[in-house]
Amino acid sequence: MLTITPSVASANQLFLANELSSFDPDVTLHVDIEDGNHVYNITFGMRTVRSIAAYFHNPLDFHLMVTDPSRYYNELASFNTRYCIIPYEAVGHPMREFDRIRDLGMKPGIAITMRTPVDVLEAMMPEADCFLLLTYGSPKGGMNGIGFREHSLERIRRVKKMLPPGKSIIVDGGIELKELHLCYEAGADTAVLGRMLFPEKSGFDGHDGRLLLPSERAKQPAELLKEILSKFE
């Protein structure tokens, strides 16, 4: 069964409450916290994260793309957090971080970029609950599948072979419907979707290349989510 977690960072930030309230309360939301150091982009400060957690009662997955993930753990544990996912490239001792995360009542996860060999995950298989594979090389997000390669699918297959029962493979980045099917066939059970759920104007032919306003959407994000999931039933 495929699970899709909408990317909060891909929603129209001017209308964040409108965008997220479209989803049923049982839909897990994916929240990227980027600090402008570990990655050059900045997404949400904790003030916004607190508001999301207070206003919405959905389960939350946090992907910490930051230089010091540990300083976020205590506060994230006070939210309705499911996975707390840390970047392999930013931590010296992932196993210690997993223990801290689990002790706070969250499920630990580890994320790797496309440059990191998947072999590093083998030793962490018993300790982490989910393994997030970034499938796009740019932090700018999905670009209609540009940047997605067979290389990404092979990485998913290799992780699937190592994966113990009950663990999850999450894919994130550059995923359109074709890539989603391929990732699912390769062994991923969860996909983080951004532009598929929150479309934008193209930026060509005189358009301004921005996210659509809620009033401009032909279909709301929750409706798009249900349509996509129906293709995997």
Banded model confidence at residue 37, pLDDT cuts 50, 70, 90: low
In the chain, the domains with their CATH numbers are: 3-230 (3.20.20.70)
Q: What is the CA radius of gyration of the chain?
A: 17
- pLDDT value at residue 2: 96
Q: 102-107, long-range: CB within 8 Å, 24+ apart, which pairs?
A: 104/73, 104/74, 104/76, 104/77, 105/77, 106/73, 106/76, 106/77, 106/81, 106/82, 107/82, 107/83
Closest CA to 101 of 46, 62, 66: 62
Let me know: does 109 contact 170? Beta carbons within 8 Å: yes
Task: Say yes or no to pLDDT of 139 above 60.
Answer: no
- pLDDT value at residue 34: 85
Closest CA to 118 of 90, 172, 155: 155
The per-residue pLDDT of the chain, averaged, comes to: 90
pTM over 0.85: yes
Dihedral, CA of residue 112, residue 117, residue 123 and residue 127, to nearest 10: 10
Task: Say yes or no to pLDDT of 141 above 90.
Answer: no
Banded model confidence at residue 201, pLDDT cuts 50, 70, 90: confident
Helix H, strand E, coil C: the string for the chain is CCEEEEEHHHCCHHHHHHHHCCCCCCCCEEEEEEECCCCCCECCCHHHHHHHHHHCCCCEEEEEECCCHHHHHHHHCCCCEEEEEEEHHHCCCHHHHHHHHHHCCCEEEEEECCCCCHHHHHHHCCCCCEEEEECCCCCCCCCCCCCCCHHHHHHHHHHHHHCCCCCEEEEECCCCHHHHHHHHHHCCCEEEECCCCCCECCCCCCCCCCECCHHHCCCCHHHHHHHHHHCCC
> Which residue type sits at 211?
L
Per-residue pLDDT reduced to its tens digit, 68-105: 999 999 999 999 999 999 999 989 899 999 999 999 99
